[in-house]
Structure 1
Amino acid sequence: MSEWQSADFTPPRGLSSAHVQTLLPRLLPRIRLAREMEILELPDGDFVELSWIAPAPRHVHAPIFLLFHGLEGSFDSPYARWLLATARDMGWRAVLMHFRGCGSRPNRLPRAYHSGDTADAYWLMGELSHRYPQALKIAAGVSLGGNMLLKLVAEQGGAGLDLAGAIIISAPLDLAASAERLHQGFSRVYERHLLNALKRKVGPRLARGELPLALDQRALARIDSLRGYDDAVTAPLHGFRDAADYYQRASAGRLLGEVELPTLILHADDDPFMPAGLFNRLPAPADAVRLEVTRHGGHVGFMEWHNRRLSPWLARRLARELADWANLGNAWLPSADRRLSRSDN
């Protein structure tokens, strides 16, 4: 069984509150990051948008960092900018996949995305394997994207994906428990924010009659919880009986003991999106899993005082992880070319 480890994250004095940590990233200046957009066509006729960080490494064998965002996240999410910039600065080819409808335009089909929807990520990984067959590839998922990625990794086994490893950050691995926690206390602030974003997206599609739902605008407006939304929208759109069925089938936590691919899980025990002691209620992780739990950090927060300023510990932790992987697969590029590639980025 994999053992839990204490991560080396220490919050600044006076900034250890879970809610402060969760909200701080939104208050800091956003990193400027150039990108190139790509529309990736999917087998069912829909599409996802990819954001490739520019400029890309010149060498075709440069390692690839693939990022999956959280619920209603995007390239503009603070954590996405930090993680993608970190990978770029280390000479990696960095790309973010927007879940359906989370990019610059609505998706085509009468459906959306959800926490257990692994098919699009699997298709993208196949495309990356075709384009860059010799490149080392590491994928990371944040929040909803983390649950999705862990589920995909567990389902596909150690050799089922062209991935060297996975990184799971602040993932709600027990979706039912997460929905319950978000409906309590101050966490309802986050729930309302997410609900409003979801309603803004689905409302116009309902009005245009694009979605096969027994729901009108008034009923949508009355929904006051994520569980209610999942009952009325997520479950019927994606073939689940109800929210309970969706939560049970889509939660990746139940698969922790089946993971064969090297996987790092980063989690804060005070995450206001999840109950404390989350991993006490889940199966023991497999040997391939490294679980690092911090006492503080909030939800995708982990803000620390580093180099005389507030900065994201997640970026520093990612840099260390990617460096370890690059050292293991350092045949991808001669050292002189690697230095040149990094200086150009």
Structure 2
Amino acid sequence: MRDEQLSHDLLAWYDRHARVMPWRVGPADRRAGVRPDPYAVWMSEVMLQQTTVAAVRDYFHRFMARWPTVGDLAAAEDGDVMAEWAGLGYYARARNLLKCARAVVADHGGQFPDSREGLLALPGVGPYTASAVAAIAFDEPATVVDGNVERVMSRVFLVETPLPAAKPELTDLAARLTPQDRPGDHAQAVMDLGATVCTPKSPACGICPWMEPCTARAEGVQATLPRKTPKKAKPTRLGYAYLARRADGAWLLERRPDRGLLGGMLGWPGSEWNDAPAEAPPLDARWRDVGAEVRHTFTHFHLRLALRVADVPAGTRPDRGTFVPRAEFRPAALPTVMRKAYDLAVTALD
């Protein structure tokens, strides 16, 4: 009965305080019979992985305007999708986005499977995304657990086991609270609660619908949860990036291999990234040291890139890469680390 009351109170709170998001069908519209678009739900969930809502909004609007249906996305050029994704990070998500869209069209007639198990069979769809789409788009009582949900569960039930070891226990607790009625709204409600009230620092317990039953609040330790196993320090890797501009204004770019970091993205030719990289210029030119380096942090390491720039004659042919005409070159379509290099190098060249 306590679990049912918790779910009831949370949904009542969500009905009043649900965040407005471009991919979300709010509780009032849901009651009026409006159904979420599975394509929009899936797109938003892929974009939101390890990224903030604020960062995703503009990307979501652009993607949906350019590719309004899963069929449109499936027919898109890989390079166009990767360019639109630039800056959002974790580029494997963009590659998986295309693989999944094409599988939905080829194997499911352009309709997303309406169950968690069916969604899990799609390429690039993991347990979290399958649960989120199943719950939000199809009202399957699937348990959706992200960082917000883990934090809320750890506090309400006073789970002191550090993450990531606590994940199975927190998932079980979230499953206990998932109702048969309105599971999609419930999933979004828990995430909203974690994002707006039960925040990592200084949780607003006084306005929380679960203030009274929250065990951590009763013990006065809510701000200390969830506990986390200390992370190892990230190593630093070094590398070189080469930015060549031809006399006709074309820039030398190279598409990275599909597999690996920044896979499939256009970027500047460069060296390997390691402890002691060897210089590897893509053509014979008078390369100049910019005198500054790009610093960028990826999930597992810090990167420091030394920049080399060169102006080369029209008609120059590189050993690798392709000169992209000035009219077709879009710095905004580059991954963030490559755009940082451009911003530094263009000043040196000009």
Higher normalized helix content (fraction of residues): 2
TM bucket normalised to smaller: under 0.3
Higher normalized strand content (fraction of residues): 1
Instruction: With a CA cutoff of 8 Å and minimum separation of 6, indicate the structure with the bigger relative contact order.
Output: 1
Q: TM-score, normalised by structure 2?
A: 0.23
Q: TM-score, normalised by structure 1?
A: 0.23
